[in-house]
Chains A and B, each alone.
Chain A
């Protein structure tokens, strides 16, 4: 064994910069910094602050006192049910309205005009919509007067300052958002798939049921979550159009009362945390159900 032992050539591994780049970190990554600072200052810090504050009850007691108080007082814990009872039906109604309209609009030439009209309510803001609805649906409003003029009702219907007033307002302000999201998912599906299904003998309903719906489900789940979160945090319309001491005493009202009427920021924070966890629970449940559906590209072509 007289093999010459060559010194192994000095191996230069890739530089630090190359190794970072291989993991997706390079100078461009720095562009994340402003957004990170922004979310740290305006979201993470206040959230963490509120989270900690919620465990420091104003009235003293142990660290869970606020939570215990919330879940032992029906006036407080009922707000969860009240809010869900508004937010879930409103979101479902919005979604169920948005799907057929999106299917129709998808085929229209003047999509732009209609989309603009539908987006207007977003720009109006909840307070203006509430004002309008108070006048329109109120006992002396056009709606009741028209019905009475035609003799359809003898007494004005009570449509504001109760559940239905808030419901109507949430549908009006939430629909455009739900619709636009739904429209983008619907138009993202290759129309050739529907044509293929038609040539294979599928009726319009079968095409929706077997082609569109399965491909839309993941998008509809996301739309549901975003619309739900928006409706769940209802505040102005619940106060202006609802019955803030009764059926539409939503969780955000409870939090506002604790914080700004009783000046108990700690309790207010605890309620806000509970609100956050209820939302999170629903959103996680809905998003997890997406795993049951196909989630690849919605096109019949080779990508």
Chain B
């Protein structure tokens, strides 16, 4: 493989801000990306993740802060001067150029010789496994093939940084899993430093070395996938990481590393992830995988089953409590609709968060 990526040590975002009129789409985003890292920008729609990517690519000017590639400031450069490869959500392949011309476009713009372009395009075609398709127009390709062309086109220019904007969101579920593995494979082969925008936590968890969770234009947490999955720092991060059960209650005691909540009369004790004080309102967050049907007792709450779905190895159900809390739980045995159950889990599976401040933080 002679696709050799430009050498550099780090890309640094230094308090990057972007305003759209009165709206702050990004506020003081600081982040350092080391060479070879695969970073996922994760967050709900409107959180500023695509804005961040467009600012790095140069498609949107930043309104504050700076972006550095080692010692060089790049946020003042035009996109064509930055030389970052970008994969667009809708692929943005040139419809009038065939696969070979699409992939070779960046090299041609750089005035490379025809033989060099041919050689590098062949390598890129091999890398994304599109041999034999090179004379087709994009309109003749399937979605997955188009995505491969878009990736090949972005990496063939040997960019220091590859930017991917929700590249899998236009594909169907099966193809999405396949392309996810492809992206990981290509990353492993090339070691390209990558920033990957997604709203899908599974994608982020499976692909990234580090995940940056954004919300309302602010970085909420940065960490390895395992760290975010097991120890989300804030309630909204937990929400995004699959803690679908959110039990509002009142703190009644703090006993060592356990915080005890009163949730509709039930005693729920968990691990506090944020500072809470006795008497304050707090939330207990529990992953739906961890909430199971069990006996009455500590950490158990009575609920009525609303729906139950068969998922092969287990059942996944929804239920509500007398006080109106909604639950998503799992069960290894079938549960009757409308029956009364006790849903419970272990202390260490329960994370306690302070009540989030309403509105933008």
Contact = CB atoms under 8 A, between A and B. Distances in A.
Interface of A: 190, 192-193, 195-203, 206, 210-211, 214-215, 293-294, 296-303
Contacts of A197: 94, 105, 109
Given A193-B94, A215-B95, A302-B143, A198 B78 contact: yes
A301 B89 CA distance: 9
B86 A199 contact: yes
A196 B153 CA distance: 10
B85 interface: yes
B109 A201 contact: yes
Contacts of A206: 109
A-B pairs with the 10 shortest C-beta distances? Answer: A294-B96, A200-B106, A301-B90, A300-B92, A196-B92, A192-B92, A198-B79, A199-B86, A202-B109, A201-B109
Which of the listed residues B59, B85, B153 has the most CB atoms from chain A within 10 Å of its own CB?
B59
Contacts of B93: 196, 300
Given A196-B86, A210-B105, A214-B96, A201 B143 contact: no
Nearest to B108: A210
Given A192-B90, A301-B170, A200 B96 contact: no
Contacts of B109: 197, 200-203, 206, 210
Contacts of A302: 90-91, 143, 146, 170
A302 B171 CA distance: 10
Contact of A190 (B79, B92, B146, B163): B92
Contacts of B58: 198-199
A291 to B, nearest CB: 14
25 contacts: A190-B90, A195-B86, A196-B88, A196-B92, A196-B94, A197-B94, A197-B105, A198-B59, A198-B79, A199-B82, A200-B106, A200-B153, A200-B154, A200-B157, A201-B109, A202-B105, A210-B94, A293-B96, A294-B137, A296-B96, A297-B95, A298-B95, A299-B90, A301-B90, A303-B139
B92 A201 contact: no
B313 interface: no
Contacts of A198: 58-59, 78-80
A195 B59 contact: yes
Contact of A203 (B80, B86, B146, B163): B80
Given A196-B88, A200-B105, A298-B95, 17 more contacts: A190-B92, A195-B92, A198-B59, A199-B59, A199-B80, A199-B82, A200-B109, A200-B153, A201-B80, A202-B109, A206-B109, A210-B108, A293-B96, A297-B95, A301-B92, A302-B170, A303-B139
A201 B157 contact: yes
A298 B94 CA distance: 8
Interface of B: 57-59, 78-80, 82-86, 88, 90-96, 105-106, 108-110, 137-139, 143, 146, 153-154, 157, 163, 170
A43 to B, nearest CB: 36
A175 B11 CA distance: 49
B143 A299 contact: no
Nearest to B171: A302
Nearest to B106: A200
A160 B95 CA distance: 47
Given A198-B79, A199-B86, A296 B105 contact: no
A211 B93 CA distance: 10
B139 A199 contact: no
A301 B80 contact: no
A23 B146 CA distance: 34
A190 B94 CA distance: 10
A197 B106 CA distance: 8
A214 B78 CA distance: 24
Of listed A199, A201, A297, A303, residue having the most chain B CB within 10 A: A199
Contact of A193 (B80, B92, B170): B92
Which residue, of A196, A203, A206, A214, has the highest number of chain B Cβ atoms within 10 A? A196
